[in-house]
Structure 1
Amino acid sequence: MSVFDAEALEFWEENGYVVVPEAVPFENCRAAEQAVWDFLEMDREDPDSWYPDPPRRSIMVEIYQHQALWDNRQYPRVHQAFSEIWETEKLWVSFDRASMNPPERPNYAFTGPFLHWDMSLDDMPVRLKVQGVLYLADTPGNQGAFTCIPGFHRKLENWLSDLPDDANPREVVRDYQAEAVPVAGKAGDLVIWHSALPHGSSPNSAERPRMAQYITMSPAPENGNAESRIEGWRERLTGLGRETKEKEHYQGKTAELTSLGEKLLGLESWHA
């Protein structure tokens, strides 16, 4: 059964982002949220425990290989959504981390990330590349929600070419913060966006932290070498290309995969 109807796909093409409602069940969200709290050694009901920085790096949480995160990555509706964006089911999933964005306080201000790109701005023309964030708890627009400038993916090339030669686009885009739109969502909603959109998180003026898990997928290479990916999963290494032995390696347990999860990892081939 399709995730996106014609209206949702039209919205995606026009705005460069789309929300997948109820991408995973609530119990998946609660399990992943608790995994983040446990990893941080913080108490979800004790606001005073939310602010010491280590082991949180900014709002990012360096948890990658927990079973609860894998359960969301390998959930069929999540895969189906990315399959419809890419127009192929043969995908690999990213080893992305989680996020805990606590409310601002007099002694704690939001540290970013503000508007930015995670893609190279030298590789033009713009090609399809996507990212995603799964809300693990209800996230109103003022609760540190994901933000982006809708439609910017369609004008990025012209915008770059119109900049002065000595301008740094990654600095210039910070002046566009007022154009950023917060994308609210319920627990289990997945926001998928085109990587050409300037995007970021936002200051949290609510009462609860924003709890989220980053997930994206991209086409599996036909002759791709999955050995490092398999090792990362089996040995519980950090993701994002760092592949180091940190807390999960020493204290965690290797996640169990479904048959879909094995293909999304590369343990089993889509092309067999």
Structure 2
Amino acid sequence: MLVSVDNWGVLRPTKAIPDRPLPHERTRSSVQVAPNFECNFEDRPDWKTADKWLHWDLNPFMWCKGRGLDYVFEGDFVSENNGTSYKGYPKVQGFLNLIDASVEDGGFLVVPGFHHRIRDWVSQPHLSSFELSQEAFTDLVYVPPDDPIHQQTQKIPLRAGHFIIWNSELPHQNFPNDSTNFRMVQYIKMFPNPPQGSYGLLHRTHLLKLQLPKHLQQTPTAKSLFGL
């Protein structure tokens, strides 16, 4: 398996936001303040993420129909969930939850079990025009707004230290923060290593070496995991 330590994610609090800077603390997981701190509070609904942006971090049509990726520029590392054809192997992604997150704090929302029917979904005749409209998008495809998939989602609240892994074929999104607390995660993805010498893998290795600091030392295990 190849492993990529991807982006981090933060959902800001949106309730009872102080109108002046908070006192410095070494760590802070909410906007709650000490009783003697004088300020006014306001809600910030404009800081909320969108309610509905259910998506895949791959192009489901490319993925299911075996079209891949050539690694010709840096952005392909975001798109590399399409980097190898399906061939019966799953691709997974995940995140480490860094602080406790309740439903009110926003978080992960997913369509459970959709990986069992994604191939039937992409084969629906009425989606042919939608497929054509998505050909240029390899790293993010949104579920059509009128698709019944939107009614099949489940919210997943998590404690600090919980690590959740899901099949990349599952539509998912973050849902909005409606509290005084932060939500913080570290994203990770994993996918089968392409055969040695394959065109895509050679380009990936070359591009990755160009981006890494020259002084960075790696163990044999790290080189194997990151495809070097």
Alignment TM-score > 0.5, same fold: yes
Q: Does residue 129 of the first structure (1) align with residue 91 of the second (2)?
A: yes
Residue 112 (structure 1) shift: 6.5
| 92-101 vs 118-127, which moves further | 118-127
Q: How does 1:1-272 map to 2 (within 5 A)?
A: 91-104=1-14, 105-111=44-50, 114-123=53-62, 124=64, 127=88, 128-162=90-124, 164-165=126-127, 168=130, 170-172=143-145, 176-221=149-194, 222-223=196-197, 224-225=201-202, 226-234=205-213, 257-267=218-228
TM (normalized to structure 1)?
A: 0.50
Tell me, yes or no, if the aligned pair for 1:135 and 1:212 is still in contact at 8 Å. yes
Match of 1:17 in 2: none
CA distance in 2 between counterparts of 1:256 and 1:141 reads 41
CA distance in 2 between counterparts of 1:208 and 1:184 reads 13
**5+ residue gaps, structure 2:** 15-43, 66-85, 131-141
Structure possessing the higher relative contact order (Cα contacts under 8 Å, 6 or more residues apart): 2
Structure with bigger helix share is: 1
CA distance in 1 between counterparts of 2:116 and 2:157 reads 23
- SS at the partner of 1:260? helix
TM (normalized to structure 2)?
A: 0.58
Q: Residues 166 and 102 from structure 1, CA distance in 2 versus in 1: closer, same or farther, beyond 3 angstroms?
A: same
Structure with bigger strand share is: 2
What percentage of residue pairs aligned between the two structures are identical? 30
CA distance in 2 between counterparts of 1:146 and 1:193 reads 11
**5+ residue gaps, structure 1:** 1-90, 236-253, 268-272
Amino acid at match of 2:223: E
CA distance in 1 between counterparts of 2:115 and 2:160 reads 27
Q: Residues 111 and 256 from structure 1, CA distance in 2 versus in 1: closer, same or farther, beyond 3 angstroms?
A: farther
Residue 174 (structure 1) shift: 6.1
Residue 258 (structure 1) shift: 4.7
Query: What per-residue deviation string (whole Å, max 9, x for no partner) do you get for residues 157-191 of structure 1?
Result: 22333462566373246654342111122222221
Query: What per-residue deviation string (whole Å, max 9, x for no partner) do you get for residues 97-145 of structure 1?
Result: 1111113324433236721112222232665221112111122233221
CA distance in 1 between counterparts of 2:118 and 2:129 reads 15
Structure showing greater Rg: 2
Amino acid at match of 1:155: R
Tell me, yes or no, if the aligned pair for 1:148 and 1:198 is still in contact at 8 Å. yes
- May I ask how many residue pairs the two structures share in their alignment? 159
Query: What per-residue deviation string (whole Å, max 9, x for no partner) do you get for residues 180-218 of structure 1?
Result: 111122222221111111101111123212111110122
- SS at the partner of 2:175? coil
Q: Residues 186 and 255 from structure 1, CA distance in 2 versus in 1: closer, same or farther, beyond 3 angstroms?
A: farther
Q: Residues 160 and 122 from structure 1, CA distance in 2 versus in 1: closer, same or farther, beyond 3 angstroms?
A: closer
